[in-house]
Amino acid sequence: MATLTVWKFDSATGADDAVTTLEALSKQQLITVHDAATVSWPADAKRPKTRQLHNLAGAGALGGMFWGMLFGLLFFIPLIGAALGAATGAITGALGDVGIDDDFIKRTRDEVTPGTSALFVMTSEAVMDKVSEAFAEQKPQLLSTNLSQEQENALRTAFAA
């Protein structure tokens, strides 16, 4: 079973710094990374910058469509206004079908704000004590949602490139 987690950092560069840690953990086979992306939101920027981490993505990567829809829903669509309400509802429904619910979306939107950053990563087979120890110095806040195998398969199907 895969886990989609969001690690929030109290600086705009924290998520990018954490990528190095995640790469090291992956190379040591302490975690399997299926896909990952970062959000960096400088304090003076109107919107965050997003980036899919192709170098960490495994063969079953979700692809840019998934990350684009998720980040659009989290950070960009709320800025566009009510004109796209129907589209927002459709996207929310599609993500809900694969285990990303309104609570996850709201919490992530509320927590990832200007001056912060986040690492979004889909993983499995994590050696949790080693992963926690590796990230301890960076002091991230963990927001997460667990996906069942059925939800993971639906996610891969829905957002296959």
DSSP state of 128: H
pLDDT at 61: 55
Q: How far apart are CA 149 and CA 156, in angstroms?
A: 11
Q: b or e along 114-140 (b: 16 or more beta carbons within 10 Å of the residue's beta carbon)?
A: eebbbbbbbbeebeeeebeebbeebeb
pLDDT of residue 74: 72
Distance separating alpha carbons of residues 116 and 138, to the nearest angstrom: 13
DSSP 8-state class, residue 75: I
pTM, entire model? 0.72
- Tens-place pLDDT, residues 39-78: 999 999 988 888 888 665 555 556 666 667 677 767 765 4
What confidence tens digit (pLDDT) does each residue in 104-127 have? 778 888 889 999 999 988 888 888
